[in-house]
Amino acid sequence: MRTLKIGLLIRIVSLSAALFCVTGCEQDSSTIIETSSDNRSVREILDLPDHMPTPAIPDFNPLTNAKIQLGRFLFYDPRLSANQAQSCASCHNQSLAFADGIAQPLGSTGHQLVRNSQGLANVIYHSTLTWSNDGFLELEDQLNVPIRADNPIELGVTDAKLDEVLLRFEQDPQYVEMFAMAFPDSDSNITMNKIIFSLASFVRTMISASSPYDQYLAGDKSALTQQQIKGFQLFNGEKFECFHCHSGINFSSSYRDANTASDAIQFPFFNNGLYNVGGDGSYPSDDQGLYDLSLNPADKGFFRPQSLRNIELTAPYMHDGSIATLREVIEHYARGGSLTESGINAGDGRLSPLKSGLIQGFDATDEEIDAVIAFLESLTDEEFITSPKFSNPFEE
């Protein structure tokens, strides 16, 4: 009887072990990423690395290599300004991640602009475009401003100058051929819409995804120094709170990609306490941010959180270029707002009633600030600022 039971026990144990091994031991873990055909096409054109999400491309202006190539020529061509003095590249310099290093640049006619030129890296991932316009959802909308607006004048292609500018391109056989290739189904002449669609296509290709931080994401754990990793942790911690507004792969909560549902797109704008004119949260009267469009007093000083990609290269900072260095930017946030001691814009931004609740101020050591700056410098993408894909074609 005992032998029978021991035999039974052995059989049961053997059966159980066999069940475990047959069903479990042979089963492996795996991760598969499938890409839909639409997204695959976009990724191929943009040559996107795996760690970058597929950007949203509007159906009305699908990406093609011909439009991208045409857009690249137009971007660098001063003939696109009415007086042929400036091109897009005048304020968007590749070596500076397509910023210009100037606090507030001049337009083609010498008109003083009130805002700092933004870098163009990864603008394709922003949910809105420009510093404080919640209506510019596509580059095709936004591009009208620098090209066609008369206040401020940037390229100055006003209605009065439009035909003259278009004629320059129609008289250039190379452009005629490029436009024909970019818009093969169109039998009309060169139009401003075609120019804008081509420029938008080119700017959408300006994707920065090869910085040391990207290499770190891609698995090279030596790509960041220990100081930069420490800075990354501080950036994502509850003390500095940077990540609340500068979140995700593009370091901005103003974000969308091809997967973002239309009802899930965020349109964040914040008052960061840079000014507090008159104590009511106002900013200098020549630029009050979103308020200038909405006329809602609660929107005074509301600007979009910028992407921090290549931020080392895009100084000076803030919408008006009023802060010169990254250290001063961090000190601004550590203080909980900036103090303007005198003048017509005097006021303490820390006390602004419109300031975002996320900006409470914090105590940071020099070592911590150094670490955060070191991390931000890891977002500098040497390949992006030297890539021939984005360089001036007239210099080739």
Partner 1 sequence: MKSLLRHPSFPTLLKNDPMRKITPYILLATSLLSVSTVMAHEPSFIDMPSQLLLKSAMGVQNTSIVANDQAWLIPGVMLGGESTPQSSGTAINDLQLFGRLNLEGDYYLGSKIGFHQHQGEGELELENYWFGKYFKFENSILKIDVGKTATDVTPTANYHSSQDEFNTKPLLAEAFFGGHHKDTGVKANWYWHELEVGLEAWNGDSWPTSSSKGNVAGFVRYHGFIYGVKTDVASWYSAGKAEQRIDSRYDSGHSHSATTITAPDVRFTGDVAMAGSYVLLSQQVNDDFLWLAQWEWMHSEQDGKIEDTTQSAGIDQTLDGYRFMLGVNYQTHKFFVQQEYLAINNKFTDASTSLIEQQGLYNQGFEPQRLMFGYHWQWNADFTLRIESVSDKTQSYQDGLDKTQQYWSLGLIWQHKLL
Nearer Cβ to partner 1, position 192 or 229? 229
- Cα-atom radius of gyration of the chain, to the nearest Å? 26
Is residue 203 a contact partner of residue 67, using CB atoms and an 8 Å limit? no
Our finding on whether 31 is near partner 1 (CB under 8 A) is yes
State both tokens at 390: 């984005």
* Member of 100, 134, 257, 287 binding partner 1 (CB under 8 A): 257
Side-chain-side CA neighbours of residue 22 (13 Å) = 6
CA distance 378 to 251: 13
CB count within 10 Å of CB 259 equals 11
In whole angstroms, how close is the CB of 232 to partner 1 at the nearest point? 9
Site for partner 1 in 198-227 (CB under 8 A): 217-218, 221
In whole angstroms, how close is the CB of 137 to partner 1 at the nearest point? 16
CA distance 70 to 141: 19
State both tokens at 41: 């096409």
CA distance 372 to 230: 8
Nearer Cβ to partner 1, position 257 or 377? 257
State both tokens at 57: 């491309």
Pattern 34-73, binding to partner 1, x per CB under 8 A?
Answer: xxx--x----------xxxxx-------------------
* Member of 239, 286, 325, 361 binding partner 1 (CB under 8 A): 239
Nearer Cβ to partner 1, position 275 or 333? 333
Q: Which residues are bridge partners to 153 per DSSP?
A: 150
Is residue 303 a contact partner of residue 281, using CB atoms and an 8 Å limit? no
Nearer Cβ to partner 1, position 16 or 325? 16
Our finding on whether 365 is near partner 1 (CB under 8 A) is no
Our finding on whether 167 is near partner 1 (CB under 8 A) is no
State both tokens at 382: 């040497």
Site for partner 1, rule CB under 8 A: 2, 5, 8-9, 12-13, 16-17, 19-20, 23-25, 27-36, 39, 50-54, 217-218, 221, 230, 233-234, 236-240, 243, 247-250, 253, 255, 257-261, 264
